[in-house]
Amino acid sequence: MTATIVSTEHLTKRYGDRAAVDDVSLTVRRGEVYGFLGPNGAGKTTTLRMLLGLVRPTSGRATVLGRHPGDPAVNGRVGALVEGPGFYPYLSGRDNLRVMARYQGIGDAPVEEALARVDLLERGKDAFRSYSLGMKQRLGVASALLGDPDLLILDEPTNGLDPAGMSDMRRLVVDLAAGGQTVVLSSHMLTEVQEICDRVGVISNGRLLTEATVAELRGATSLFVRAEPADVALAVAMRVAGDDAVQVVDDGFRLETGAKNAPVVTQALVEAGARVHEIRPSERTLEEVFFEMTTPEEALR
Amino acid sequence: MTTVNAVLASTRAELLRLRKWPALWVMTGAWLLLNVMFVYVFNYLSYTTGSTTPRGEGIPKEALLAEMLPAAAPISAVQGLPMFGGAIMMILGALAIGSGYGWGTWKTVFTQGPSRLATTAGSLVALVLAIVAIVALTFVLDLGLSTLVAATESQTIVWPGLGDIAPALGGGVLIASMWMLGGALIGTLAKGPALGVGLGLVWVLAVENLLRGVANLLGGMDVVTDHLPGTAAGSLAGGLGAGGGTDGTPGVFTTLDTASASWLLVAYLVVFAGITAVVVRRRDLA
C-alpha cells in the first residue's frame, strides 16, 4: 500500500508547436480530494486524459496506482468522467450502466446502487438522449462509481448542474473521500474546490503553477481594519503588526497578524484616539489567489 | 481479469448494446425485406403470371420455381450478401464502430478495465455473432417461405441436407463478416460512421464494377480485380451454387474457385480486423 496514488514527472503533451500540458509534476495522496484548478483550456482535461491512458504523453511520465496509466489492471480500479459523459443515446440510463458493468465483469446490482447514489433511479428507464445536461452529468458520475474504484477522476463533475445538484455533488464527493476513495476533480469553480478539496494543483497555460493545501494557498489569516483618521490608524497598525505587515486595501488596512490579536489592535487604536468602524479576521479567498496566479503579469500593470 | 475474460466481458457488453440498438433492427429488416422481395416475391409473380420481368426472361419456369423451393433455401439466404447485403453489413460495421467516436462512448469504454485490444476484439466478435444471427434468421425465413411456395404449387417438399446448409450459411457469415469488418475499419479510420458508410457504398456498389470494366480493356488489371473483396465474396457465393452471370444475382461470380475465394475472404477479414485493432490501440482519444 503506497501513500501516493498518482504522480507525474515532467508530464508534457504537445499538439504540433503548442504544449497543451507542459512539464507538469504533481502528486495525489491516498484518501484525499485533489482539486485540479485552472481556467478553460489550461490543460486540465488533457492531463486527466493522460492519467487514464486515453492520451499518450509526448514526454515525461505518469504513474497511477503504481503502474502505467491505461494498464488494464489500473483502469479496473479507476472510475472516470472525462470531458462530459459519453453514453449510447438510444439506451436508457440503466442500460448504459449495465453495458459498462458488463465491461467491468460485475453484475447488475452495483448499477442500481450507482443510480441511487446520483438520484437517477426514477429516470433510469428513460433514454439517455432525453436526459437534461445535469442528468447526463450525474449518469457520468454514476458510471465512474461502478465497481467501487480506488481512484475517481472527475472532470468538471458539477458542469451543467443546478445549485441544488452542485451541492449534492459536493456532498457525494466528500462522502466518497470519507469512505476512503481518492478523488481527483478538476474545476474552474473556486468555491467548489475551496469547500471540498484537501489539496489543490493550479494549472494555467499547460503549466502547473503551484500545488498546495487550500489553507497554504490562501495564506495566514489577516485582520481587516477600518478606522479614522486614516493616518493615525495606519501608524498604530504599523507599530503593532510591523512595518511590512500592513497593506492598504479598499477603504482600510489589512494587517498580517492572527485573528487572536484583534483585541490588542483595537485597544491600541482606541488609545491613540482613532475611531474604529470595523475590525474583523480576513482570509483571502481562493479566487483572489487564483486570479493573482493565472493573470498574466502584463495584464496586472 | 485475464485476456480471455476481458474479451468475453467486452463481447457481453457489446451484445447488450447492439441488441437494443434500433439501427441494427432497421438494417436487419431492410436486408430481410430485400431478400424476400428478390428471391420470392418478384420471382413468384414472374412465375405465376408468366410476364417477362428482367429476371424472368430466358429462364425456364421450372428453374425459376426450383430457386423458390426449400432445397434452394440455404443458397437463397446468402446469395444477396456479396453485393447489396454486403453494403448493408458494411454500413452496420461503420455505424457500430464509428458512432462511438461521436457519442464519446469509446472513451467511457476504454476506462472500464479491459484493454483496448480486448475491447476491440469483443466489439468485433459481438458484431460477427449478430451476423450469425442475421444469416440464421434469413435462412429460417426463407425455409418458411419456400415451404409455402412448395405447398401452394403442390410440389414435393425436399428439405435441404446439412451438407448444403452448413457450407452455405458458413459462407454467408464469412462474406457478411468480411464486409462488416471493412465497414468497421473505415469507421475507425474516419472516427465516425458517415465517411465509412459513404465510401463503403461507393466501393461495394460502383468502384469494383468499374474496375472490372477497366480490366476488360487493360491487360494485367485482371490480376487485381480478380482478388478484390467483392470478387472473393461473389466467387464464394457462386461456388456455393448461387446463380451468377448476366441473368443471375448481381455480385455473384465464378472467377475464383470456392477454396481460393474462402481463403482470400479470411485474409481480408484478418487484415481489416488487424488494422482496426492496431489503429484503436495506438490512437490518442482526444
pLDDT at B56 over 80: no
How many of the other CB atoms lie within 10 Å of CB of A154? Answer: 27
CA A40 to chain centre: 13
Task: Determine, for residues A54 and B104 on separate chains, whether the beta-carbon distance falls below 8 Å.
Answer: no
B-chain residues near A89 (CB < 8 A): 103
- Whole-angstrom Cα distance, residue A225 to residue A234? 10
Mapping DSSP to helix (H, G, I), strand (E, B) and coil, where does residue B172 land? Answer: helix
Which candidate from A79, A87, A90 shows the least CB-CB separation from B22?
Answer: A90
Please, are residues B230 and B135 in contact by the beta-carbon 8 Å criterion? Answer: no
- Whether the Cβ atoms of residue A224 and residue A246 lie closer than 8 Å to each other: no
**Checking DSSP bridges between strand A33-37 and strand A182-187, what pairing results, if any?**
parallel
Q: Is B221 on the interface with A (CB under 8 A)?
A: no
How many Å apart are CA A51 and CA A68, to the nearest integer? 9
The yes-or-no verdict on residue B54 having pLDDT over 60 is no
| pLDDT at position B245 over 80 | no
Judged by phi (left if over 0) then psi (alpha if -120 to 50, else beta), residue A10 lies in: left
Q: Is the backbone peptide bond immediately before A110 cis, with ω within 30 degrees of 0?
A: no
User: What is the grid cell recorded at A264?
Assistant: 490588542
Nearest residue, CB atoms, B1 vs list A49, A89, A105: A105
At CB < 8 Å, which residues of chain A contact B?
A: 46, 49, 52-56, 70, 72, 75-76, 78-80, 82-91, 95, 98-100, 102-105, 143, 147
**For A58, phi and psi rounded to 5 degrees?**
-75, -40
CATH-assigned architecture of domain A220-283: 2-Layer Sandwich (3.30)
Predicted ipTM of the assembly: 0.89
Report the SS3 class of residue A31: coil
Going from N- to C-terminal start, the domains of chain A cover: 4-217, 220-283
- Please return the burial class of B196, using the count of CB atoms within 10 Å of its CB with bins 0-12, 13-18 and 19+: buried
The CATH number of A4-217 is 3.40.50.300
Going by C-alpha positions, the residue among B138, B117, B107, B108 that lies closest to residue B38 is B138
Residues A134, A137: Cα–Cα separation, whole Å: 5
| Alpha carbon distance A88, B104 (integer Å) | 8
- Other CB atoms within a 10 A radius of the CB of residue B239 amount to 22
Beta pairing, strands A151-155 & A182-187: parallel
pLDDT in tens, B200-234: 888 888 888 888 888 878 877 888 888 889 889 99
Task: Please tell me the distance from the alpha carbon of residue B252 to that of residue B232, in angstroms, as a whole number.
Answer: 9
Question: What's the confidence (pLDDT) of residue A301?
Answer: 47
pLDDT of amino acid B275: 96
Which pLDDT tens digit goes with each residue over B166-196? 999 999 999 999 999 999 999 999 999 998 7
What's the pLDDT tens digit per position in B85-116? 999 999 999 999 999 999 999 999 999 999 99
Confidence at B238, pLDDT banded by 50, 70, 90: confident
Render each residue's pLDDT in chain A as its tens digit; 301 residues.
458 999 999 999 999 889 999 999 999 999 999 999 888 888 999 999 999 999 999 999 999 999 999 888 898 899 999 988 999 999 999 999 999 999 999 989 999 999 999 999 999 999 999 999 889 999 999 999 999 999 999 999 888 888 888 888 888 898 888 888 999 999 887 777 888 899 999 898 899 988 988 888 877 778 888 888 888 888 888 888 888 888 888 788 888 887 788 888 888 889 988 898 988 888 777 777 777 777 765 554 4
- Residue B11's alpha-carbon distances to A99, A235, B126, B274, in angstroms, are 10, 77, 5, 17
> Does B55 score more than 60 pLDDT?
no
